[in-house]
Structure 1
Amino acid sequence: MQEEAESGRRTNLWKCVDDENKEDPPLTHSIGALIGGTHRQMLYYDRLSIIVSQEIDIEDDPDPLIAMLIGLHRLTLEKHGIHSIEHRDNTATLFEGRKLTLKKADGNPVALTLGKIIFRQPGIIGRDTCFVEATAEDCGEWKGMETIVKISWQAKSRPSEKDFMDDVKNAVDELPKDGTSHQWVFDHLPNILLSQDFEMAEDSPQARLKAYFDTASYADGDSFEYEERVCRIMVQEKLYSITSLREPRQYTQGIFDILQIHRWVYDHARIIHRDISMMNLMWRRRNGVIYGVLNDFDLSSYCDYKSASALRRTTRPYYACDLLKTDPPVHISSSSFYLPFESWYDMTYPELYDKTYNFFIDSTKNPDTLLPVSVSFSNFQSWLTLCFGLISADFFAENAYHRSKPQSLFTQFLSSRPSGSVGTPLKEFDNATLGGFVDYSAFFQVMCKFADQDLVVKYDPDGEPTQHQS
């Protein structure tokens, strides 16, 4: 109960900060207080952290409250998070015409002229991921290439997207030269030209918190590890959202391309993408051919990386049904289906489990009615129906497995008696593939055809080696 109350207070704080950021001037961070009766706690919030002070009781000792008020009064506008030079007006052109100089891998500088903001995540100014159009000056190797700059705030210990792409290149080079070309993979991955990290200033709140926590410890003596962040600026070739494609055949081939590259990167570079969303499904055109591209590897991890805390298991409404149980199975990757209904945000775990579970097992409802599509996307109905059927089959198989357990025990009991027959050991249910119904091979078989026509297969790990086709 205490944890839920604390979580609720933090959520309310975030909402207050979000409301404040809709006003001028915008905030880089917020300072507030939790007040309950005579009890007070100071709060510091930015996009990287929430810091809560020790609780004080002004009835027992008013001195800390007086010191707190004096301290707040002495803060400058900047320390309050207010930067007068930042304005909400014309945010799309905030960077337009500004110069940015970065260093390439060989140490040589490259000058970029920034353009319009393509996309910016909602959040505190200066802490949100931002994509900006850019053109390179006097850089022959990038000549004629449309480029964008991505500005994000990543954990210092996390590999950059360029690191992951370098690993993909190494994996391609190390594959045996048996006549099967793997150069096709670069058509379906982001072309990252440069990545450079900038650490926080020594007098920044993050640097001061790091210095403090380096010497702090828990009551049991364990040390506290503060996650440092860096400003990571990356330059890459411009890509386009998969949703901007209007030809159904191009759209489906792009999605199928992304399915195949997702598996190839896992099999050969040992990288798990972990951030599948429509915003990260992109396309590019090369030599007149449209290719689906799997973008945004900044949350990716290596297959042998087992730190559950660093894998970030997503948020409650997106949980797979089994994770809503009181004793969930081991889960080290994000759920892969989307949130159909806004009302699911406000449900408890048991309520959410019932809703998501019944969504798939209610045999009285027609899948075509549950998953309606527009006329222009009518050929996608078979994909939706088959994928829905695979997940539904899993739930029925899991139910049958758990119902058969008591019967299996009873059979084994009878087999131990002189006149009993020999019982058959119960095979364990495979949670990793939802009983074998939901795995890569199943989705590959569903998605390799569209409107009764074969799509281009570039990588089938369960079939014959496939040459790249354009």
Structure 2
Amino acid sequence: MIPSEFSERSRELIHPYVEEDLKLANQVSLDKWLNAVLGFPSNRFKSWTTKIGEMKWFEDDVVQRCLREYCAAAKEVHRYSPFAELGNRILELARGKLPGVPKTKSYPVDDFCFLNSADRAIATIPEHGALGAVRRPDILNVRSSVSRRFATGECVQWTDVLLWWELKKRFNLTTILDKERVSRGLDSPDDEAPDEGAAKPVPRRKLGRKKKSAPAFKQGPKARQRPSPSSTPTVTSTAGVKRRAEDNLLDGLTLRSSNKTRQTADPQFGLYLGKEAAVQSGSCTQGRQPFPMSCAAIIVAMARCKAEQFGVLPATVIKPPTPYPKSFPPSNLGDSGLTIRHPITNKRILITLKRPLFSQYVLLGRRTFVYTIETSPATPATGLIAKFAYQVHSRKTEHELVKKAHDAGVQHLPEIHMWADLWKLSDAARRIFHEGEKKPKYEDRIFRMIVYTQFASIKSLFSERCELIPIMVEQMLDCLHDLRYKANILHRDISVNNVMYEKRGSRYFFVLIDFDMGVILPRNPESNYYASSKHRTGTLPFMASELVRDACRSDKPNWKPIRHVLRHDFESLFWLSLWCVLTLLTHTVDSKTKDSLLGWAKSLETGPIKAIAANKESITNLGLGYLTIDLPDPAQCLKRWFRGWTRLMRTANSAAADRFAQLENLEDSRAENVDVPDPEHFDEETAGGTFTKDIINEVLSPLMPLKPTDICIQDLEEQLIQDDGEDARVFAAVPPAPELKRRKWR
């Protein structure tokens, strides 16, 4: 289970692939960021900062009070309310005063506000159910109507959020500002409550050589496309104030990251406004708290963004009749539409989105969502849905993989009717960020739509009839085996959302969908192949334990990812089955048992990734019974079936470990110039023949509560009466791990 000492914000909770992406993040100039993210020209930004200085917003009583409370906050959480009030005051001062900002109370400025939401979590996404992560962003940007509902106790939904902010306190802000004032010959600020652990006051005298220190505050609105958190502009002097010493308290201040690493304001390192940016990053003090005018201008610019900039939707999406200013952000895209050409007939088809079926928000991956649709003119196929996802440009498209599999005679696959590529991420903000680069470092993605026949979710089925889980596994084993050996395709993303079902007469027919992560393998099974994108693995709770453990090592020097092979997809079927039992049957148990079951489910997908790997290995090596994972009463019929799974996986893991040890011994022997013959062939796909479709079926079929031909459970109790000796007979079918000579370590 997840150790209690891991806090919600612990660094160990960060997925290693997220850290990998962050290491590749580049800082950009402020002008480029304004253009790419806010669509805000630099000349308007300069005129706004000049105008803000001329209007002396820094003398506003509310602004000064909020800045004092912000700077004197003893704890990070004490900064949230003054920051939110400051943002709202800036928007109020801007109305009718800045060029392009209307005076009338109209969308978007008057309907865009800052909200301190840290004391109340955002409502979890319905699709995530009881496993949904609880999130409390520090500051939210929402519409005024949402803020009023929040004040009455109503929860904020994720669809209500335009932007969110995280304010981090990593330094003693009051002491730093006091030092800067004294070093510039200014009066000391008004007496304020010191921060916790504040240093002794600096004597009121001119200091020696000016030291660089941290900025007044670090901010970062998390928009769809955003710069690195450390991309805060290094501000320079402003024009139009009385004394040069008051021009800019923050001039020359450096950025300080969370690990206290000092970073210079070098143009090659990060955002740097340069000599021509005197007005852009001005801040005024007049003996009071510093007021960065550039930040005020950015806040107003964010509030002036168009609705499409918050949603990042392509222009090809036709909005519903109600205009966005009155309905944005919409809770869903129902009644929106788009026109595409039929890939076969070449006729123009209008697709109207109707009811949302599924949405997935992920740190890594495709941000998938699914809708039922209507087509005009109507197509022969009925019951259609449209799936939208941001898919990696370098991978084979999903419809190509499914067609190849159909042509090879693979069963249990969806039928894809239409598809369209709507836009590339490189056509929008990424193109602006990476202008002039011959070979951009980012991984380009395509916003793609695929239309296929609608199937039912296994979540609803297995919450009522979990005895059908083994039948699903048997059909998926056939599908994955044929994909690999008939079509040379690996699916690589077995999950609860990627296996669907339909009833064909009185039989249940399961279907494997979502080939976004699929790859075509080389004809020669001995050939090495490499993933066509950075993130190779599928959905965390359903990943094979070997892949999760390998992800833990991704930050090691000279790390090379292991190959995703067929047995990993086979193992994912076990984790899928277990996850369904742990999460979908909680309505049948008492609250204490429910908490225990959901706790085990969470241990497979949340917390430090090393803990997730350890939890999976414990289940594999020790079994459910040893770990006292008590299955709900409806799933008791699957206890022996799960036991067969874990014994199979232990045998396969042992064979794979022995093979690895043999190769290490071989490498060491050859390094010592010892003549050693080449090792015998070992099938990585099946762990030396210990984890094949036939072996799995041979072990699990006698343990299934229902046979594939059964359509009712009237005789279920009679079928479950088994002798203890049958276990020994069934498990005898598991082949022993290959006997490989191990090296005796000294």
TM-score higher than 0.5 here?
A: yes
Gaps of 5+ in 2: 1-9, 23-117, 119-134, 143-155, 172-213, 236-249, 254-277, 283-292, 312-323, 523-528, 580-599, 668-673, 710-746
Residue 207 of structure 1 corresponds to which residue in structure 2? 428
Residue 77 of structure 1 corresponds to which residue in structure 2? 304
In the TM superposition, what are the counterparts of 1:412-431 in structure 2 within 5 Å?
none
Q: Please say if 1:61 is aligned against 2:252.
A: yes
Secondary structure of residue in 1 paired with 2:508: strand
In the TM superposition, what are the counterparts of 1:306-385 in structure 2 within 5 Å?
306-307=530-531, 309-313=533-537, 320=545, 322-323=549-550, 324=552, 330-333=561-564, 336=572, 337=575, 340-343=600-603, 345-347=606-608, 349=610, 354-362=614-622, 367=625, 370-385=628-643
Conserved in 1, the CA contact under 8 Å of 2:398 and 2:515? yes
Residue 446 of structure 1 corresponds to which residue in structure 2? 699
Conserved in 2, the CA contact under 8 Å of 1:255 and 1:292? no
In the TM superposition, what are the counterparts of 1:92-107 in structure 2 within 5 Å?
94-96=333-335, 98-105=336-343, 106-107=345-346
The amino acid that maps onto 2:386 is: V
The amino acid that maps onto 2:607 is: D
Structure 1 residue 281: deviation in Å?
1.2
Q: Please say if 1:168 is aligned against 2:419.
A: no
C-alpha distance in 2 between matches for 1:9 and 1:119: 26
- 158, 168, 172: which one aligns with 2:395: 158
Residue 413 of structure 2 corresponds to which residue in structure 1? 189
C-alpha distance in 2 between matches for 1:28 and 1:405: 54
Structure 1 residue 441: deviation in Å?
3.9
CA offsets, 1:179-218, max 9 Å, x none?
xxx4xx35x1111110111115xxx89624224425237x
Secondary structure of residue in 1 paired with 2:350: strand
Conserved in 1, the CA contact under 8 Å of 2:138 and 2:165? no
Structure 1 residue 328: deviation in Å?
7.3
Residue 103 of structure 2 corresponds to which residue in structure 1? none
Structure 1 residue 450: deviation in Å?
5.0
The change in CA–CA distance for 1:123 and 1:84 in structure 2 (over 3 A counts) is farther
Structure 1 residue 343: deviation in Å?
4.9
Structure 1 residue 149: deviation in Å?
1.6
C-alpha distance in 1 between matches for 2:166 and 2:633: 51
Residue 511 of structure 2 corresponds to which residue in structure 1? 293
The amino acid that maps onto 1:103 is: R
Structure 1 residue 41: deviation in Å?
6.7
Gaps of 5+ in 1: 173-181, 218-222, 410-415, 417-422, 457-470
Conserved in 1, the CA contact under 8 Å of 2:455 and 2:502? yes
The change in CA–CA distance for 1:253 and 1:356 in structure 2 (over 3 A counts) is closer
Q: Which has the higher contact order (CA 8 A, sep 6+)?
A: 2
In the TM superposition, what are the counterparts of 1:3-82 in structure 2 within 5 Å?
7=19, 16=137, 22=156, 26-27=160-161, 36-37=170-171, 38-39=214-215, 43=220, 45-46=222-223, 51=228, 54=231, 59=250, 61=252, 65-66=281-282, 68-69=294-295, 70-78=297-305, 81=310
Secondary structure of residue in 1 paired with 2:137: helix
C-alpha distance in 2 between matches for 1:425 and 1:205: 48
Structure 1 residue 395: deviation in Å?
5.4
The amino acid that maps onto 2:641 is: W
Structure 1 residue 311: deviation in Å?
4.2
C-alpha distance in 2 between matches for 1:405 and 1:237: 47
The amino acid that maps onto 2:339 is: T
Conserved in 1, the CA contact under 8 Å of 2:652 and 2:687? yes
Residue 347 of structure 2 corresponds to which residue in structure 1? 108
**Which structure shows the higher strand fraction?**
1
Residue 225 of structure 1 corresponds to which residue in structure 2? 441
Secondary structure of residue in 2 paired with 1:310: coil
Q: Which has the larger radius of gyration?
A: 2
- 427, 450, 453: which one aligns with 1:237: 453
The change in CA–CA distance for 1:113 and 1:432 in structure 2 (over 3 A counts) is closer
The change in CA–CA distance for 1:207 and 1:385 in structure 2 (over 3 A counts) is same
TM-score, scaled relative to structure 1: 0.68
Conserved in 2, the CA contact under 8 Å of 1:360 and 1:388? yes
CA offsets, 1:16-73, max 9 Å, x none?
3997684587456667787754147775645577645656556552667547424444
Conserved in 2, the CA contact under 8 Å of 1:33 and 1:42? yes
Identity of aligned residues (%): 17
The amino acid that maps onto 2:405 is: V
Q: What's the RMSD between the two structures over aligned residues? A: 4.9
Structure 1 residue 446: deviation in Å?
3.2
CA offsets, 1:319-343, max 9 Å, x none?
7255246797742337834674535
Residue 280 of structure 1 corresponds to which residue in structure 2? 498
Secondary structure of residue in 1 paired with 2:649: helix
C-alpha distance in 2 between matches for 1:49 and 1:431: 42
TM-score, scaled relative to structure 2: 0.46
C-alpha distance in 2 between matches for 1:348 and 1:141: 47
Conserved in 1, the CA contact under 8 Å of 2:494 and 2:538? no
Secondary structure of residue in 2 paired with 1:133: strand
Structure 1 residue 129: deviation in Å?
2.2
The change in CA–CA distance for 1:450 and 1:406 in structure 2 (over 3 A counts) is closer
C-alpha distance in 2 between matches for 1:266 and 1:24: 39
Structure 1 residue 296: deviation in Å?
1.3
Conserved in 2, the CA contact under 8 Å of 1:214 and 1:226? no
Secondary structure of residue in 2 paired with 1:118: strand
Secondary structure of residue in 2 paired with 1:16: coil
Structure 1 residue 388: deviation in Å?
1.0
C-alpha distance in 2 between matches for 1:157 and 1:404: 36
